[in-house]
Structure 1
């Protein structure tokens, strides 16, 4: 495995249109982590939104049996573990934070994130890749006002942590396991925070270390936003961020 600088992202590969059936499908790879992100629409909304004119965006997340070793048991209907629930709620919140739900109309968008290979950062990869699938899906929909796109900004996510006493960006599994502090950061392309999840693993961290981790995350998300722009090309629905 190539040695990275502490402030360097893992190499990212994006393949749009990976499946034939889904209106939005992206195979998102960051080194040893691979996630298939698909997005689809249904002409319905949760009961509390009926008649409101607003749509809804939700997400589902799953790790396939051989995404890890040893084999992970499949999650059957009604038997979703706590980690899975927490991650898919995070993904859904991240997309809704930048959504213009009235512009969507009464439609339900589901973004499915299926982890094919896991080597750290599966939730952040799901958000970054899932956003691309979401945009592709939204571009196919009929909307109440075609000139009004249902997203106000882009979304990307990245991890950072204190590994061997040093702030490190985009942790793989080995680094995450060894980290004294582990953080996941979700931000918009415009540079606003959506969510920060930071935890000391049998350790504490200072104001200075927190600031260093947030600065690393901001740098990483700026790069990921550029990768998203390049992947979508002319389909990018926002002003280009230099």
Structure 2
């Protein structure tokens, strides 16, 4: 039995609450089990210098954790004067994942920044951030279309992310902290609703895993993200 009592292919209870932030163009509070992330989308009428004059927009992300999002207090990175390598890696991952499903030329010369702030961490914070950020992005784009800033949505599909791993019980979906901290291998899958693969981060913590084991992790990831796509659509009120 998994620590949570879930079946091997079962993901944690997921809820996505839109409109959590009063001022952002798009926002959600996503809960995946004990992990909670506030995702906000902010729109600016400018692009980074390297894109100026090209008629293209930009989608980027920032990521952070509250000091007591984890079991022990972590220092604020602002107090240290620099971001950790982990933070930089995760926020770049979130940005890449979202840009994979946005037509930047159709967006035009504006920037949408997704801020993902972890309120409570129980494993899978980067995956919850990507999944929630897509909904926040969609809400911001919906507002731009409604106000006729954009003629049509530049979003080309859905993207969601899930962690899967190898434990003493075998391959399992959607690791919580108890499983992630003891897993023999763990992987983050960022997938699209059209079946595309945006990115896979897979690491053997103990002994190397086989092609067959990786294929089983991918199967679980496909099942898990299908449920996340449903949750995203439900939060947006779309079929």
The TM-score, its normalising length taken from structure 1, stands at: 0.93
1:13 equivalent in structure 2: 15
2:157 counterpart of 1:146? no
| Separation of aligned partners in 2, 1:163 and 1:19 | 37
2:33 equivalent in structure 1: 31
Deviation at 1:90, TM superposition (A): 0.2
2:134 equivalent in structure 1: 131
Aligned partner of residue 61 in structure 1, secondary structure: strand
2:48 equivalent in structure 1: 46
The TM-score, its normalising length taken from structure 2, stands at: 0.95
Q: Summarize the alignment of residues 46-85 of structure 1 with structure 2, pairs less than 5 Å apart.
A: 46-76=48-78, 78-85=81-88
2:168 counterpart of 1:161? no
| Separation of aligned partners in 1, 2:203 and 2:85 | 17
1:207 equivalent in structure 2: 211
| Separation of aligned partners in 2, 1:115 and 1:184 | 17
2:232 counterpart of 1:222? no
In the alignment, structure 1 segments of 5+ residues that lack a partner are 235-239
Q: Deviations over 1:160-191 (max 9, x none)?
A: 00011500000000100110010000001111
Deviation at 1:140, TM superposition (A): 1.5
Deviation at 1:66, TM superposition (A): 0.8
1:231 equivalent in structure 2: 235
2:127 counterpart of 1:117? no
Bigger CA drift: 120-129 or 224-233?
Answer: 224-233
Shift of the 98–232 alpha-carbon distance from structure 1 to 2, 3 Å rule, reads same
| Separation of aligned partners in 1, 2:78 and 2:40 | 20
Deviation at 1:99, TM superposition (A): 0.9
Deviation at 1:202, TM superposition (A): 2.1
Root-mean-square deviation (CA, aligned residues, Å) is 1.4
Deviation at 1:145, TM superposition (A): 5.2
| Separation of aligned partners in 2, 1:144 and 1:34 | 32
Deviation at 1:63, TM superposition (A): 0.6
In the alignment, structure 2 segments of 5+ residues that lack a partner are none
